[in-house]
Chain A
Amino acid sequence: MTEQPDWDCRRAGEELDAFVRGDLPLAEAGRMQSHLDRCGHCAEVARYEQAFRDRLRAIDTDTCCPEALLQRIRDLLASPPRES
């Protein structure tokens, strides 16, 4: 197995958002993690971005389509309006 060169701060910064989203492929996530283990500054930025992302993800998590709207849509699908 070939040794991959370590990521520098610039490279880590470019992929930070994808890492925080959990969208980085496993190998790259591993390289990001080893950079974060070595670099206190990037680790701090990563925690800041993670806290921000977690807060945004928490908005509207319990918000569902209201029952009245669901019923209107069911009615609509049961007898679709004619093309105008």
Chain B
Amino acid sequence: MFSHPTSFDDEVLPHLDLLYRVGLRLTGDPAAAEDLVQETVLKALRAWSSFRPGSNARAWLVTILRNQFINTWRKQKRAPTGIDPESIPDQPDRNNPDPEGRFFAELVDETVTEALDALPDDFREVVILSDLEGLPYAEVAEALAIPVGTVKSRLFRGRRILQGTLRRYAEETGVIRPREEQR
């Protein structure tokens, strides 16, 4: 019988924290995230014989978790967000009253995660993996089965939407004051 040079435990257990955080961000619910991670481990266990030793276990696990999320969670919960990705400006706004983004550090987690939750799914998952978890482009591409160029463009647009949402929030709540109209 073919035996793996590494054990399932060695490959999978180190990534449970990351899987739980990604699950939490995707579902927005700790109990749902726990179920998602448990199902992911179970699926990974069943598929372990197809895992190629030396390949990227983290990307492999994220793929399983994300597929599980799409199949069981996403269809029941998320509604379209109403954001038209085509309406996103390509350039940051030059009238930004806080051009160095100091206000970002003032925002509480709930504000940021709420804005993140409102992103369209394609952008949201890329931002979660790439910006929150710090996975390299290539690994995000592998986990989501999309080209690296697509990762970059979705990340770019997702960040623009999120930045716009957070800045509007910061202005509305007085964290930053809009620049006075030029006369």
Chain A residues touching B, range: 20 to 34
**B137 contact set on A, CB distance < 8 A:** 18, 23
Q: If A64-B17, A77-B9, A80-B45 touch, does A51 touch B104 (CB 8 Å cutoff)?
A: yes
Chain B residues touching A, range: 35 or more
Q: A44 at interface (Cβ–Cβ under 8 A)?
A: yes
A interface: dominant SS? helix
- Would you give the shortest CB distance from A82 to chain B, in whole angstroms? 11
- Would you give the shortest CB distance from A36 to chain B, in whole angstroms? 13
On whether the beta carbons of A63 and B21 are closer than 8 Å, the reply is yes
Q: B92 at interface (Cβ–Cβ under 8 A)?
A: yes
- Would you give the shortest CB distance from B7 to chain A, in whole angstroms? 10
Q: If A23-B136, A45-B92, A51-B101 touch, does A59 touch B37 (CB 8 Å cutoff)?
A: no
**A58 contact set on B, CB distance < 8 A:** 109
B interface: dominant SS? helix
Q: A76 at interface (Cβ–Cβ under 8 A)?
A: yes
On whether the beta carbons of A55 and B107 are closer than 8 Å, the reply is yes
Q: Which residue of B41, B96, B127 contacts A76 across the interface (Cβ within 8 Å)?
A: B41
On whether the beta carbons of A51 and B105 are closer than 8 Å, the reply is yes
On whether the beta carbons of B156 and A17 are closer than 8 Å, the reply is yes
- Would you give the shortest CB distance from B36 to chain A, in whole angstroms? 10
Q: If A64-B17, A73-B16 touch, does A53 touch B131 (CB 8 Å cutoff)?
A: yes
On whether the beta carbons of B100 and A44 are closer than 8 Å, the reply is yes
On whether the beta carbons of A59 and B9 are closer than 8 Å, the reply is no
On whether the beta carbons of A57 and B131 are closer than 8 Å, the reply is yes
- Would you give the shortest CB distance from B10 to chain A, in whole angstroms? 12
Q: B74 at interface (Cβ–Cβ under 8 A)?
A: no
Q: Hey, what's the 0/1 contact readout for A51-72 against B, CB within 8 Å counting as 1?
A: 1111111111001111011101
Q: B83 at interface (Cβ–Cβ under 8 A)?
A: no
Q: If A52-B101, A64-B20 touch, does A57 touch B46 (CB 8 Å cutoff)?
A: no
Q: If A52-B101, A63-B24, A77-B9 touch, does A57 touch B16 (CB 8 Å cutoff)?
A: no
Q: Hey, what's the 0/1 contact readout for B15-38 against A, CB within 8 Å counting as 1?
A: 011011100110000100010011
A sample of 5 cross-chain residue pairs with beta-carbon separation below 8 angstroms, ordered by A number, consists of A17-B155, A57-B134, A59-B132, A64-B20, A80-B45
Q: Which 3 A-B residue pairings sit nearest by Cβ, starting from the closest?
A: A51-B101, A48-B101, A55-B104
